[in-house]
Structure 1
Amino acid sequence: MAHILNFEFQDVKDILAKAGLKPFKAKQLWDWVHVKGVLDMDNMLNISKSDKSIMAQLFEFDELEISTQQNATDGVIKFLFKLHDGHEVESVFIPETDRGTLCISSQVGCTLNCRFCHTGTQGLSRNLTASEIVAQVHKARSVIEDWNGRGEKRNITNIVFMGMGEPLYNYDNVKKACKILMCDHGQGYGTRKITISTSGVVPHIQDISENLGVNLAVSIHAANNEARSKIMPINKKYPLEELMAAIKKFNLKEKRKIFWEYAPLKGINDSVQDAHDLCDLIEGVKSKVNIIPFNKWPGSPFDPATDEALTAFYKTMQKRGVLTTIRKTRGEDILAACGQLRSETSKINTVSIEFPETVKQYGTDRQKEKIKVNIEE
């Protein structure tokens, strides 16, 4: 028996119809689960006891368990969710003035072993099911009291597959989860509000464009094969030539862009020439480059680029006419920043330092703040 969150609306209608229930019963159930956020059948007040009895034999309704919840000083919330088999995954809620983003996981761990990413040190345990992916959104919305009814303003406005795992190595379940979250009868997230990030798994990129329509982000981090293969082994399987060929076939809707994620590492990929190489690589593609200050984690073999290198990199991108931003580091005091997710507790201390001069000089008001650097206790 599968969880109710594992099914699309039409599937629920078909299953209930086979059980002898009228079509409107599916709408009632879907409304409770995906509009009101209710999984406890005792609270589904307009469904009869006899119908509940039938539904309980067809679907599971248990809620995702929270192992730990950490609240950062900047409002970021990191959830460690415990799955039915004891495995754990992390999700991160990042509030902004005008929106709220939930970063969710697609796998327990990751198989890619990107050398700068903490998740990669864990290895891969298994893929998440569609219901386990949807459940991260469902539970997070419950915790922050975000079930306001259809059409009302919500706190979680955007969903990004940038947590643990490579989404395109679990594409069938990621795709199904997206369709469930986008259903007009339920949570109704638009295609512009969901972003799938990949490290460059080429085969499924075109399907995102043709059959899903959500945003695509690419973790690029180096613009030549030699450098990229050293820090991202996936590049040996799908080199930049194959990746860029797939990107150039990607059908971007009006006003859409490909998002490129780039974390400058000291002495590795942070030179002015590296910036020029990146501009040359993505030339002709409607793009936005997000420069992500590297988030140090205990045992990391890399250091962040210096302020001077970051400034020169940013200015080079701007001079070349590439839309570029420097992403503000959020939730670093609880190891919730990009590249820091790992399903175990790490003991750390924090010290406060000034944010890089690049952000002070060129960043938005949101980006002008102090960051915290984690150091091993």
Structure 2
Amino acid sequence: MSFRPSSTLETGYKSILDSLTTAVLVLGEDLTIRYLNPAAENLFETSLTRTQGIPLHEVLIDSGNALKILHAAARNGQSYTRREAEFALLTGSRLIVDYSVTPICLDPTELLIELHPRDRQLRISREEDIISQQEASRILVRGMAHEIKNPLGGIRGAAQLLDRELDNEGQREYTQVIIDEADRLRSLVDRMLGPNKALQIVPTNIHEVLERVRTLIEAESRGKVQLKRDYDPSIPEFPGDKEQLIQAVLNIARNAMEAAFENSNPLLTPTITFRTRTLRQFTIGHKRHRLACRIDIIDNGPGIPPDLLQNIFYPMISGRASGTGLGLSITQSIIGQHHGLVECESEPGNTNFIIFLPLEDIK
């Protein structure tokens, strides 16, 4: 099925609308989507190709009252503005926006809508805080590692010398305990520091990474976890270290698997969803990227306590008695080396770890 291009676009302004950072969409009759500019595609977590000709209510979820007002605006040719409107996307994300509706004079049945996200600045500020915390944590861990590893080396060396001098096997067992424990602590410190080798940059397909992780989780769970896929096939290859990205995503997926098994509802199937979307003109921290990728890893476990949520990316922070608290810290470090970021949103029955990766050269 083909759709008639919007009269607004026929006037030659499409290139201007495409370059705007303001989200703009054009609705036709019956509030079907005629056009989304890249900023709107980013805001709605979808693309024009996927939504063109689709009614707005299949992309945005809002009260019926809002749709009635839009129909009235199209019917009566009225302009209006609404402040702090809240919408839900089909992906589960929520938006708080100010938006203006203007009938298009060349075609009164069409509406031009401009949306200004209210939470955008809050998100950018939060990401900058996460990056600052991550850098402070890295400096702290490296300093602590230096102070721990030096005396550990001395303790281990002294224990080895003492071991050579002892003839009593019972006493040598004690020196061996000292050596083994020193090695264990050194290994723990090395894991806290995360990967220390340079990235092996190759053209990387994010879906190959996710499929490798999905296969591993399916094997580890013995098929007891339902694994859902919701991929955007338009995401291009990007420069990345495939093996390290697999490790980063696997750390999150393993946590999601454990959380899904902890759900108290016996009728609820443990489920993990892997979702990808393309983001255009997207800001990660303080840097704007022409093209980025969003990866969501969602589980239906009991959720993360609010007092723990803000600290889960710090080393040695874990919500499980058996956890080391290193997996998410290592993940954040690997994604940070790719100039990306990891965030988490959690409520009972829906925990979402979100990875943002720029689809550009790493410099």
Q: When the two structures are superposed, what TM-score results if normalisation uses the length of structure 1?
A: 0.24
Higher strand share: 2
Higher helix share: 2
Compare CA radii of gyration and give the structure with the larger one.
Answer: 2
